[in-house]
Amino acid sequence: MTNEERNGFVKEIEKQVGLLRSINIRIKELEDEISQSKAVKREYEEQVIPDIMLENGVTSVRLASGDSVEVKPFYYARIPKDNPDAFFAWLDANGHGALVKSHLEIYTTDGEIVELMKEFCEEFRIPLEVGRGIHWKTLEAWFREQTQKGANLPTNLFENYVGKKATIR
């Protein structure tokens, strides 16, 4: 390749890289715009419309357009990433331990070893992790149920939120 050909090649790559950078910048701008729009949408669904309706003593209304708007509570709950064991201990101590599922992961390419029980793993020196968790939908359902019952929950031990949301149909 001659110097002239190489310079032409490099200039073409520089041009294409510049276009790619422009595309990446535009994608980031659009993603930011979508995030902002989702935040505004959430504000209208969870605050503006429910507050107006509840201030006027209604939880559902049919609009002239034919749409119906209904305000219902929603529940959010997640296991904390920093200290799940405190929450698991509270669940165990308060009769909700069945929510927590234990799991065992074995890292091996030998399918027969996977069938072995946990206590044999040390004997075979297989690296393993034993974990506990609750599926997020199960946790939310439990949280909703307990909140509706008025149960005294350790809300400082897990991520949780009770809100209201307007649904338009």
What are 84-107's pLDDT values in tens digits? 999 999 999 999 999 998 776 666
Is the model more confident about 114 or about 139? 139
Put simply, whether the predicted model's pTM sits higher than 0.85 gets the answer no
Mean pLDDT of 108-131: 70
Report angle CA 145, 61, 141 to the nearest 5 degrees.
15
CB proximity list for 166: less than 8 A, separation 6 or greater: 44, 45, 46, 49, 50, 53, 69, 70, 71
Given a cut of 70, whether residue 117 has pLDDT beyond it is: no
Average per-residue pLDDT for the chain: 89
Give me Rg for the CA atoms of the chain. Answer: 27
Q: 60 phi and psi, to 5 degrees?
A: -150, 150
What's residue 83's pLDDT?
87
Torsion over CA: 151, 164, 155, 93 (sign) = positive
What's residue 115's pLDDT?
65
Torsion over CA: 63, 70, 135, 157 (sign) = positive
